[in-house]
Chain A
Amino acid sequence: MNSAMPFEWILAIRFMRQARMQTLLIMAGVALGVSVIVFISALISGLQTNLFKRTLDFQAQIIILPPKEISRPLHQAGDGAMLATLVQPRAQRLQSVDQWQTVLAQVAKMDGVSVAAPVVSGAGFIVRGEANKAVGLTGIEPETYLKLIALNSKIIAGTANITGTDMLVGLDLAKDLGVWTGDKLNLQTASGGTATLSIRGIFDYGNSGMNSRSVYIALRTAQSLLDLAGGVTSVEVNLDAPFTAETVAQTIQAQTGLKVDSWIATNAQFFSALEAQSMSNTVIRFFVGLTAALGIASVLVVSVVQKSKAIGILRATGTSRQQILRLFLLQGALTGLIGSLLGAFVGWLFLIAWRNIAINADGTQLFPITFDPMLFVYAAVGATLVGILAALFPALQAARLDPAVAIRG
Chain B
Amino acid sequence: MADFNAITLQLKGIRKAYNIGLPAETEVLHGLDLTIERGEFVALIGPSGSGKSTLLNLIGLLDKPTAGELLITGQPTTQLQDRELTLLRAKAIGFVFQFHNLLPEFTALENVMLPLLAARGRPDEAMRLRAAELIEQVGLTDVGKHLSNDLSGGQQQRVAIARALVMQPALVLADEPTGNLDTKAADNVFDLLRRVNEASDTSFLIVTHDPRLAQRCDRIIELVDGRIDSDKANRVSPP
List residues of A whose CB falls within 8 A of some B CB.
Answer: 1-7, 10, 14-15, 17-18, 309-310, 313-323, 402-404, 407-409
Contact = CB atoms under 8 A, between A and B. Distances in A.
Interface of B: 53, 57, 60, 62-63, 82-83, 86-87, 89-91, 94-95, 97, 99-106, 110, 113-115, 117-119, 121-125, 163, 167
B53 A7 contact: no
A18 B86 contact: no
Contacts, number: 87
Contact of A319 (B63, B86, B95, B110): B86
B38 to A, nearest CB: 21
B101 A313 contact: yes
A131 B29 CA distance: 114
20 contacts: A1-B123, A10-B117, A14-B103, A17-B105, A313-B95, A313-B102, A315-B86, A316-B62, A316-B89, A316-B95, A318-B87, A318-B118, A319-B86, A320-B83, A320-B87, A321-B82, A404-B57, A404-B60, A408-B53, A409-B100
A404 B55 CA distance: 11
A6 B123 CA distance: 7
Contacts of B110: 1
Given A7-B117, A317-B118, A14 B95 contact: no
A10 B105 CA distance: 10
Contact of B97 (A321, A323, A407): A407
A1 B87 CA distance: 23
Given A316-B95, A318-B90, A321-B82, A14 B106 contact: yes
Task: Report which residue of B83, B99, B102, B103 has the largest number of chain A beta carbons within 10 angstroms of its beta carbon.
Answer: B103
A6 B124 CA distance: 11
Contacts of A3: 122-125
A17 B106 CA distance: 11
Contacts of B103: 14, 310, 313-314
Contacts of B124: 3
A398 to B, nearest CB: 14
Nearest to B58: A404
A316 B86 CA distance: 8
A5 B123 CA distance: 8
Nearest to A406: B62
Contacts of B113: 1
Contacts of A319: 86, 114, 118
B10 to A, nearest CB: 21
A14 B105 contact: yes
A407 B63 CA distance: 12
A61 B102 CA distance: 71
A10 B123 contact: yes
Nearest to B97: A407
A408 B53 CA distance: 9
A317 B90 contact: yes
B94 to A, nearest CB: 8
B87 to A, nearest CB: 8
Contacts of A315: 62, 86
A-B CB proximity, top 6 nearest: A318-B90, A14-B105, A404-B62, A404-B57, A319-B118, A317-B115
Nearest to B53: A408
Nearest to B90: A318
Nearest to A19: B105
A402 B118 CA distance: 18
B86 A318 contact: yes
Given A14-B105, A15-B105, A313 B122 contact: no
Contacts of A17: 105
B210 to A, nearest CB: 20
Nearest to B117: A7
Given A5-B122, A313-B97, A320 B63 contact: no
A346 B15 CA distance: 61
Given A6-B122, A313-B95, A316-B89, 16 more contacts: A1-B117, A3-B122, A17-B105, A18-B104, A310-B103, A314-B103, A315-B86, A317-B90, A317-B95, A317-B114, A318-B91, A318-B118, A319-B118, A320-B83, A322-B83, A409-B99
Given A316-B60, A317-B90, A318-B167, A7 B121 contact: yes
